[in-house]
Amino acid sequence: MDNQIFSKATIVNNLAKIITLAEVYDKGKRVAFVKGNREISKENVNAKKKSLRAFGVLVPIMYVSGRKAIADGCSIVGLDGKEIPSEEAGDHIVIIDGQHRFMAAITDNTVNPEEIYMFESWSSENTIALLSEANIEMNKWKGKNFVDGAVLILPDEELLSRIKELTDRKYPLSTASKIYCFNMDITTAVLAACMKGEGIDAEYDLVRAEKFLAVARSKFEEKFIAKRYLIDAVIKLVSGGSTPYEKVFAAIDKLSVNDVKNIIEAKTDVTKIKDIIKSHIETA
């Protein structure tokens, strides 16, 4: 995003445009979000409620018009999560920064709509780029948030969509990257670049990853697979090209109930996990 320098007059003029949620309602407008944006966290909402009760709205909520969001290529959804038809976009404002503050305010009976301050974004940037920048700058993001943001910008990038399926299941980004790339090349820095429209440059194997997940899920609970120990053992067995991944997966498929128990109990001892799997490779 290009840096924009605002003059003092511009800043003063825009500060005068700060309005309240009550005024938004008086104009017949409804509030919407960008489809695919950061998920609403109940934990964050509850934390915001405590802050609102103590201090009120310290930072106004930033929005763009519904028409701008649609024109910039976004889909928008109502508070119920249902997509809003483009012809109804003009009846909405779309929150860019402050989703959690907004949800905290409207679900807390102690906060009056006249006390919820909002302003229309000063920037002329594309809504998607603005959303990504605002999220990174104004929120403490975790790996999953970067994945969600990258998919929002590059919805046709299959690797990102597959990784999102795992992070939606509570997999850490590092584990998801190892499953699809056999390394940790998919970092938050890479995903941040994706949110600026840059393509993703990484070696990956979707077929191999799906086969791993299928055989792993046939033996282990999702929670254990997400911990990375199993995929680390697989990578060690396959690295160097001495053992084809198909043989390693076949060995996992032959694990006994006792083998599975021992692997789970091994936890971070990847060498032990590798040896248990390796003992079945000759017979796989």
Range in 36-45, 77-86, 95-104 with the lowest mean pLDDT: 36-45
- Over residues 22-31, the pLDDT tens digits come to 999 999 999 9
Tell me what pLDDT residue 262 has: 96
Rounded average pLDDT over 4-17: 51
Which residue did the predictor score with more confidence, 225 or 196?
Answer: 225
226-263 confidence digits (pLDDT tens): 999 999 999 999 987 778 999 999 999 999 999 999 99
pLDDT of residue 155: 87
Chain centroid, CA 145 distance in Å:
3
Query: Percent of the chain having pLDDT more than 90?
Result: 50
Q: What is the mean pLDDT of residues 91-96?
A: 94
- Res. 2: pLDDT tops 50: no
Distance CA 162, CA 176 (A): 9
DSSP conformation class of 32 = E
CB 142 within 8 A of CB 104: no
Q: How many CB atoms lie within 10 A of CB 70?
A: 21
Query: What is residue 1's predicted lDDT score, i.e. its pLDDT?
Result: 44
pLDDT tens-digit profile of 40-69? 878 888 888 888 887 777 778 999 999 999
Residue range 95-107: average pLDDT? 89
Exposure of 205 by Cβ count < 10 A (0-12 exposed, 13-18 middle, 19+ buried)? middle
For the cut 70, the answer to whether the pLDDT of residue 10 exceeds it is no
Q: Is the pLDDT of residue 139 over 60?
A: no
Residue 201: is its pLDDT beyond 90?
no
Per-residue CA distances from 131 to 26, 44, 96, 146 (Å): 26, 18, 6, 12
Name the pLDDT band for 116 (thresholds 50, 70, 90).
Answer: confident
Predicted pLDDT at 215: 98
Look at the pTM and tell me if it is higher than 0.85. Answer: no
Handedness of CA 207, 259, 172, 183 (dihedral sign): negative
In degrees rounded to 5, what are phi and psi of residue 82? -85, 140
pLDDT band at 115 (very low <50, low <70, confident <90, very high): confident
